[in-house]
């Protein structure tokens, strides 16, 4: 019994440890890069910490940067459970934002609660239908979901621009074409005592919600069992089509909410500012968290921290903005690539180091675990 | 093999560690020391874009020469929550008391939110949006009547053109852009009423391939002078040069890009504007309100004439320029003015002075301009 | 109206020729990669790197062709890395592709800052329309040697995949990993080489952007051409000759918006600009079929 639970603990900790190791390696690579270009790694890392978690302002900044990513990442996270790679988060965010703005304007005279729920629902529906369509094409036509969702991103952006500069435009939004404002009284507001808006809470809610769905409901069970396998799906008595459609709808819906948060917490209207590349970052969040809803939280924290400290590094170290893009690139390449080494390398290196610490049994368990997973 | 990798890694780590040790003296203090003024600049794009952002960055560079002034710059800041947090970070961490959010879209809601939160900090926004009845007193907004310089370029373009067809490549049909297109067309028509201007909207501020394609298709239509209003006119000027036709610049002086075909261009004089702002700030004057001006006030300039410009054309342009510089001024928008769809805008004898707010919401193209804008 | 029609048509043909070359190179590159059984979304990254390095080398050496070569080499480094690392168990090729886009973009923007201002020697062009003296026609048919090279490459690859030994090996790796192993080939090695070859081409595609059309290095240069390559290959049903047709179509569709406006139709330019994507989506929808499985390389998880 005890052994069983340690094994279980280790198998949960293993990916976490792996990611941490990979993260440290990527920081070493980045430090090298900084040395090559003649910058001081110490200085950069100091500002990185100061700008992300160094003080209360920075922490709030990090949290705010996390908000859209927490939601939009689900566009890739959920379909990945079925072995599908959907990269349409940007499009779902854009249509979600657009839909919530339109609803907010239409419900201008309604109560706060009604408007909010209307915007929430419309963003969820719009995003859900947008990505649901991807799932539909996947199931009925066998169309490649990665490419279809990529194309849908471009189409969503064109649609937003077209409508915002045309029929939905507020004539008062002179040099920045936008829809009408939903009204200051309808804005989402901040959590009391902070500058952090409720988008973060919505993000947290969906992290827990999806975790619950996938671990404690029949639907989640069948998704985990089938993993996109037609025959297995039939065994649990659900059609694969239904599973795909529901998953894609949920995925799109949650990322559509990212658009709603952008509109109701920040801009108050829909305009081209919604196209900020959150959707593409969301894809990486998903892969880095191994499509695990709970892991989305620490991974978005990492991204939020990078985004929040970006400015300070630019200003203090006089490095161009691209420096942080390089860092992000190095981090992703290392973490994703590390998968290919982790099993074998950890085993060899640990063996060589001949750990003789208290809890060596724990390590032994890890090894056998590694070995098993490597062989299978 | 893995042994080698590990070995390399440990060497790297040592390298980094040693470099960190050696660079302890790189302290960059916030500029809160006595009498020092810290100024923050926020750019929407890369500050070396040969266009809009570079023009502002050159203005910021001029401030760096002033004594007792520290300038912090941050580039590629999207018009999202990022913009607010960037300004706030400059205030909190760099102790900046003067902030220049240089993109039009930074104003509402981003700069306004920050201005409400930090009443002791002065925000100077580029865009000319200030409204005393609505906006806080620590905000100023500035913009130049660049249409005056564009009007002069129109005169030069029409005087040089052989086909009497001019081309204008623009990002979006917003009032600011439409005003420039119309000023260009009116300047050209003041030389020869039969001149036409064909407009191509690319849809966004930075799309090099689309801009080149637009320049080429304009050249195919027989257009022999090309100008534009995009963030970086580099591509369209180089494409025009390649096609052996003339070009007119925008934002900065682009003479080196087209030694043969560059005629002239409208450009900003931010170094002067920013130096004046900072001197006034230091003298304790309020910078709140709207700051506007054209050639006379030295906010905009005409780029040097290229070799293809005849003496007669120069004389014509200089004569009108002298009128702009005089106390009487020169009116660009005066009756009779008819839109491209045949609508009467101004009756004979009517005129709109540069300061007239109606010009800020321009939604038409004047007669002689080929192109249409989506109905507002 | 009639004259307008011809002008628009000509502008679209000209645009197709000008805009298609990077699409052609990248899609051929992706085609080679996918034929071997891997998908590399990172062509966008190698393309942007290629554009930057090509421009830089051309600036410092004075030879645009050396720039092209350097661009190909830097591109193939990315492919080599992608091919090698994705051969490890547990490394997802799509995720790695996206990560490499970010890395490539970051490095290119970082080292490219000082290249935005200077003017490097560009590639020359010549007109195919010797038979015409109408300037619009001679202009529309101005082409660059890379365009010709791309066509030749498409033909070579078409026959190469079909008849050459090398082509068969690649196809075996893409169709059936076990068969490849049984025949004694190192499937991983084949895929790595194919991947490197593929990104060599996308590096050249990037250099075309910076050294010929639009012909200067800046940070907005590539607007997703590399990502679209993956769609193009599906569009072309993994056939090199059809990659050429698809690229021309894509280039032409991209030229539609500006050409229509040049002739005075400017309503709905966002939608016109989105035509390439809508077109591809329609083609993917109509051409996909659950039953059809013979076209895509079987080892490709797509």
What CATH number matches the domain at C2-124+144-287, 3.30.1490, 1.10.3470, 3.40.50, 1.25.40? 1.10.3470
Q: How many CB atoms lie within 10 A of CB C214?
A: 26
Residues forming a β-bridge with B166: B197, B225
> CB neighbours of B167 closer than 8 A, spacing ≥ 6?
B197, B198, B199, B200, B214, B215, B218, B219, B221, B223, B225, B226, B227, C262
Q: Are B130 and B111 in contact (CB under 8 A)?
A: no
* Nearest residue of C to residue A291, measured between CA atoms: C95
Is C184 touching B (CB cutoff 8 A)? no
B-interface mutation test, from C23, C144, C218, most B Cβ less than 10 A away = C218
Q: What is the largest CA-CA distance in chain B?
A: 87
- Provide, as residue numbers in chain C, all residues whose Cβ is less than 8 Å from the Cβ of B211: 214
Residue B10: phi, psi to the nearest 5?
Answer: -65, -35
Span C256-301, pLDDT tens digits: 888 888 777 777 788 888 888 898 899 888 877 765 555 677 776 5
Neighbours of chain B (3+ CB pairs under 8 A): A, C
Q: Which residue has the tokens 């965010």?
A: A93
CA B198 vs. chain centroid, Å, equals 22
User: Which superfamily does CATH assign the domain made up of B37-144 to?
Assistant: Response regulator (3.40.50.2300)
Q: ∠ CA(C229), CA(C232), CA(C236), 5° rounding?
A: 140
DSSP B305: P
Residues forming a β-bridge with B266: B250, B302
Q: Which one, of A250, A156, A259, A237, lies nearest residue A211 by Cα?
A: A250
Say how far apart CA C222 and CA C213 lie, in whole Å: 11
Say how far apart CA B344 and CA B336 lie, in whole Å: 8
CA A163 vs. chain centroid, Å, equals 27
| B37-144 matches B146-267+300-370 in fold | yes
A158/C277 CB distance under 8 A: yes
A280/C98 CB distance under 8 A: yes
| Count of residues making up chain A | 376
Q: Which one, of A63, C149, A13, A147, lies nearest residue B85 by Cα?
A: A63
DSSP A186: G
* Nearest residue of A to residue B117, measured between CA atoms: A195
Q: What is the mean pLDDT of each run of 10 residues along chain C (302 residues)?
A: 75 87 95 92 95 96 96 96 91 89 94 89 85 80 91 96 92 88 90 96 96 90 84 88 92 84 76 86 81 63 52
User: Minimal Cα–Cα distance from B368 to chain C, Å?
Assistant: 12
Say how far apart CA C297 and CA C286 lie, in whole Å: 19
A321 lies in a domain? no
Q: Are A207 and A214 in contact (CB under 8 A)?
A: no
A317/B28 CB distance under 8 A: yes
ipTM of this predicted structure: 0.90
Q: Are A147 and A86 in contact (CB under 8 A)?
A: no
> What's the average model confidence in pLDDT over B335-342?
90
B209/C10 CB distance under 8 A: no
Distances (CA, A) of C281 to A147, A277, C52: 9, 21, 31
Q: Are B332 and B354 in contact (CB under 8 A)?
A: yes
Say how far apart CA B295 and CA C241 lie, in whole Å: 57
Q: Are C26 and C222 in contact (CB under 8 A)?
A: no
Q: ∠ CA(A226), CA(A228), CA(A234), 5° rounding?
A: 50
Is A347 touching B (CB cutoff 8 A)? no
Q: How many CB atoms lie within 10 A of CB A322?
A: 23
Tokens standing for residue B131: 């409204």
Sign, CA dihedral C111-C115-C116-C120, equals negative
Q: Are B83 and B101 in contact (CB under 8 A)?
A: yes
Say how far apart CA B193 and CA B189 lie, in whole Å: 4
Is B48 touching C (CB cutoff 8 A)? yes
Q: Which one, of A334, A332, A326, A262, lies nearest residue A302 by Cα?
A: A332
- Provide, as residue numbers in chain C, all residues whose Cβ is less than 8 Å from the Cβ of A146: 94, 230, 302
Q: How many CB atoms lie within 10 A of CB A352?
A: 11
- Identify the helix (H) or strand (E) that includes residue C126: strand C126-127
- Identify the helix (H) or strand (E) that includes residue C20: helix C2-35
Say how far apart CA C13 and CA C252 lie, in whole Å: 6
Distances (CA, A) of C210 to A277, B243, C68, C217: 24, 17, 10, 5
Is B232 touching C (CB cutoff 8 A)? yes
Q: Are C283 and C235 in contact (CB under 8 A)?
A: yes
- Provide, as residue numbers in chain A, all residues whose Cβ is less than 8 Å from the Cβ of C233: none
Is A340 touching B (CB cutoff 8 A)? no
A314/B6 CB distance under 8 A: no
**Closest Cβ–Cβ partner in B200, B207, B239 for C261:** B200
**Closest Cβ–Cβ partner in C103, C281, C292 for A333:** C103
> What's the average model confidence in pLDDT over B273-298?
91
B46/A262 CB distance under 8 A: no
Span B139-173, pLDDT tens digits: 999 999 999 999 999 999 999 999 999 999 999 98
A144 lies in a domain? yes
Is C16 touching B (CB cutoff 8 A)? no
pLDDT mean across residues, chain B: 88
A287-291 CB contacts, 8 Å cutoff, 24+ apart: A287/A76, A287/A332, A287/A336, A287/C92, A287/C95, A287/C98, A288/A19, A288/A332, A288/A335, A288/A336, A289/A73, A289/A77, A290/A15, A291/A76, A291/A77, A291/A80, A291/A81
Which residues of chain B form beta strands (DSSP E)? 37-42, 69-74, 98-101, 122-126, 139-144, 165-170, 196-201, 225-229, 246-251, 262-268, 289-293, 300-302, 333-334, 337-338, 344-346, 351-352, 369-370
Is A147 touching C (CB cutoff 8 A)? yes
The residue ranges of every structural domain in chain C are 2-124+144-287
* Nearest residue of A to residue C219, measured between CA atoms: A322
* Nearest residue of B to residue A29, measured between CA atoms: B12
- Identify the helix (H) or strand (E) that includes residue C127: strand C126-127
**Closest Cβ–Cβ partner in C18, C116, C215 for B50:** C116
Least confident of B92-106, B128-142, B292-306, B308-322: B128-142
> CB neighbours of B14 closer than 8 A, spacing ≥ 6?
none
- Provide, as residue numbers in chain A, all residues whose Cβ is less than 8 Å from the Cβ of B12: 28-29, 31-32
DSSP B304: P
Q: Are A310 and B83 in contact (CB under 8 A)?
A: no
- Provide, as residue numbers in chain B, all residues whose Cβ is less than 8 Å from the Cβ of A308: 85
**Closest Cβ–Cβ partner in B78, B363, B374 for A166:** B374
pLDDT at C9: 85
Span B96-130, pLDDT tens digits: 999 999 999 999 889 999 999 999 999 999 988 88
A202 lies in a domain? yes
Q: Are A131 and A149 in contact (CB under 8 A)?
A: yes
* Nearest residue of A to residue C302, measured between CA atoms: A144
- Please give the CATH topology (third level) of the domain spanning B146-267+300-370: Rossmann fold (3.40.50)
The residue ranges of chain A whose pLDDT is under 70 are 1-3, 228-237, 343-376
A-interface mutation test, from B16, B44, B101, most A Cβ less than 10 A away = B16
Interface of B with A in 47-106 (CB under 8 A): 72-82, 84-86, 88-90, 92-94, 104-105
Say how far apart CA B179 and CA B173 lie, in whole Å: 10
Total domain count for chain A?
Answer: 1
B239/C218 CB distance under 8 A: no
DSSP C214: S
C270/A332 CB distance under 8 A: no
Is B203 touching A (CB cutoff 8 A)? yes
Check residues B10 and B374 and name the one with the higher pLDDT.
Answer: B374
Say how far apart CA A70 and CA A294 lie, in whole Å: 10
Peptide bond just before C295 cis, omega within 30 deg: no
CA B90 vs. chain centroid, Å, equals 23
A351 lies in a domain? no
User: In terms of residue numbers, what domain contains A134?
Assistant: 68-301
A328 lies in a domain? no
DSSP C258-298: HHHHHTT--TTHHHHHTHHHHHHHHHHHHH--SS--SSS-T
Neighbours of chain A (3+ CB pairs under 8 A): B, C
pLDDT mean across residues, chain C: 88
């Amino acid at each position: 019994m005890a052994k069983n639970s340690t094994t279980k603990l280790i198998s949960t900790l293993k990916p976490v440890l792996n990611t941490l190791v990979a993260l440290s390696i990527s920081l070493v690579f980045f430090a090298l890069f900084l040395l090559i270009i003649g910058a001081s790694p110490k200085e950069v890392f100091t500002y990185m910490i100061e700008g992300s978690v160094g003080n209360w302002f920075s922490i709030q900044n990090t949290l705010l940067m996390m908000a859209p990513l927490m939601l939009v990442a689900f566009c890739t996270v959920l379909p990945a459970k079925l072995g599908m790679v959907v990269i349409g988060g940007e499009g779902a965010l854009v249509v979600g934002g657009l839909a919530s703005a339109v609803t907010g304007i239409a419900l201008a005279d309604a109560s706060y609660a009604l408007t909010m729920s209307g915007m929430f629902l419309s963003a969820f529906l719009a995003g859900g239908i947008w990505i649901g369509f991807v799932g539909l094409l996947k199931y009925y036509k066998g169309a490649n979901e990665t490419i279809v969702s990529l194309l849908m991103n471009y189409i969503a952006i064109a649609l937003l621009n077209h409508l915002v500069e045309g029929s939905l435009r507020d004539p008062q939004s002179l040099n920045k074409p936008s829809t009408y404002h939903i009204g200051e009284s309808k804005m989402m507001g901040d959590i009391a005592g902070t500058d952090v808006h409720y988008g973060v809470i919505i993000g947290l809610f969906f992290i827990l919600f999806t975790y619950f769905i996938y671990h404690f409901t029949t639907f989640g069970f069948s998704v985990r069992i089938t993993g996109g396998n037609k025959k297995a799906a039939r065994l649990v008595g659900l059609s694969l089509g239904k599973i795909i459609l529901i998953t894609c709808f949920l995925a799109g819906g949650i990322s559509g909410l990212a658009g709603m948060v952008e509109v109701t917490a920040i801009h108050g209207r829909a305009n081209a500012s919604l196209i900020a590349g959150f959707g593409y970052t969301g894809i990486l969040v998903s892969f880095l968290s191994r499509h695990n809803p709970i892991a989305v939280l620490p991974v978005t924290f990492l991204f939020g921290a990078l985004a929040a400290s970006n400015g300070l590094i630019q200003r203090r170290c006089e490095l161009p903005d691209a420096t942080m893009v390089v860092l992000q690139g190095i981090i992703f390449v290392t973490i994703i690539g590390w998968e290919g080494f982790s099993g074998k390398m950890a085993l060899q290196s640990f063996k060589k180091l001949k750990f003789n610490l208290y809890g060596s049994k724990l390590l032994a368990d890890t090894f056998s675990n590694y070995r098993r997973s490597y062989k299978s | 093999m893995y042994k080698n990798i590990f070995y390399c890694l440990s060497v790297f780590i040592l390298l980094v560690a040693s470099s960190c040790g050696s660079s302890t003296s790189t302290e960059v203090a916030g500029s809160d020391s006595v009498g020092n003024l810290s100024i923050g600049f926020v750019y929407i794009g890369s500050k070396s874009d040969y266009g809009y952002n570079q023009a502002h960055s050159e203005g910021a560079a001029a401030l760096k020469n002033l004594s007792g002034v520290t300038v912090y710059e941050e580039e590629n800041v999207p018009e999202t929550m990022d913009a607010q947090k960037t300004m706030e970070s400059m205030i909190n961490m760099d102790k900046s008391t003067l902030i220049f959010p240089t993109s039009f879209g930074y104003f509402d809601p981003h700069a306004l939110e920050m201005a409400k939160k930090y009443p002791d900090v002065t925000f100077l926004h580029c865009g000319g949006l200030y409204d005393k009845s609505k906006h806080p007193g620590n905000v100023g907004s500035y913009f130049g009547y660049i249409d005056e310089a564009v009007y002069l370029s129109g005169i030069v373009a029409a005087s040089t053109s052989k086909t009497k067809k001019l081309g204008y490549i623009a990002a979006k049909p917003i009032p600011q852009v439409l005003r420039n297109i119309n000023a260009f067309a009116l300047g050209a028509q003041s030389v020869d009423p039969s001149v036409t201007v064909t407009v191509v909207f690319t849809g966004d501020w930075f799309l090099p391939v689309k801009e080149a394609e637009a320049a080429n298709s304009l050249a195919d239509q027989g257009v022999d002078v090309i100008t534009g209003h995009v963030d970086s006119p580099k591509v369209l000027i180089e494409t025009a040069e390649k096609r052996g036709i003339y070009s007119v610049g925008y934002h900065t002086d682009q003479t080196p890009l087209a030694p043969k075909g560059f005629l002239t261009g409208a450009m900003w004089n931010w170094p002067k504007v920013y130096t004046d702002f900072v001197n006034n700030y230091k003298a304790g004057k309020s910078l709140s309100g709207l700051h506007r001006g054209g050639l006379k006030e030295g906010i905009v300039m005409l780029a040097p004439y290229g070799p293809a410009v005849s003496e007669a054309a120069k004389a014509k342009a200089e004569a009108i320029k002298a009128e702009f510089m005089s106390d009487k001024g020169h009116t660009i928008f005066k009756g009779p003015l008819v839109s491209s769809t045949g609508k009467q805008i101004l009756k004979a004898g009517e005129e709109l002075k540069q300061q007239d707010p109606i010009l800020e919401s321009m939604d038409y193209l004047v007669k002689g301009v080929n192109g249409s804008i989506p109905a507002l | 109206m009639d004259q307008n029609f011809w002008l628009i048509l000509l502008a679209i043909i000209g645009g197709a020729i000008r805009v298609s070359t990077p699409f052609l190179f990248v899609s051929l590159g992706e085609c080679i990669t996918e034929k071997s059984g891997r998908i590399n979304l990172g062509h966008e990254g190698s393309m942007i790197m290629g554009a930057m390095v090509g421009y830089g080398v051309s600036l410092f050496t004075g030879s645009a062709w050396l720039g092209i070569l350097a661009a190909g080499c830097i591109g193939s480094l990315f492919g080599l890395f992608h091919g090698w690392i994705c051969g490890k168990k547990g490394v997802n090729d799509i995720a790695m592709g996206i990560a490499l886009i970010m890395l490539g973009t970051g490095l290119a923007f970082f080292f490219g800052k000082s290249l935005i201002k200077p003017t490097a020697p560009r590639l020359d062009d010549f007109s195919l329309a010797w038979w015409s003296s109408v300037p619009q026609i001679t202009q529309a048919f101005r082409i660059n040697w890379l365009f010709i090279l791309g066509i030749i490459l498409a033909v070579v690859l078409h026959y190469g995949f079909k008849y050459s030994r090398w082509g068969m090996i690649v196809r075996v790796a893409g169709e059936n990993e076990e068969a490849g192993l049984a025949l004694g080939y190192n499937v991983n090695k084949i895929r790595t080489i194919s991947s490197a070859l593929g990104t060599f081409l996308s590096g050249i595609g990037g250099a075309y952007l910076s050294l010929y059309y639009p012909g200067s290095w800046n940070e907005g240069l590539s607007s997703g051409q590399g990502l679209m390559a993956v769609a193009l290959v599906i569009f072309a049903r993994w056939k090199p000759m059809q990659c050429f047709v698809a690229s021309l179509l894509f280039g032409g569709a991209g030229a539609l918006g500006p050409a229509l406006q040049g002739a005075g139709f400017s309503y709905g330019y966002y939608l016109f600009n989105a035509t390439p994507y809508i077109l591809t989506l329609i083609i993917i929808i109509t051409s996909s079929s659950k039953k059809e499985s013979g076209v895509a390389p079987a080892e490709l998880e797509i």
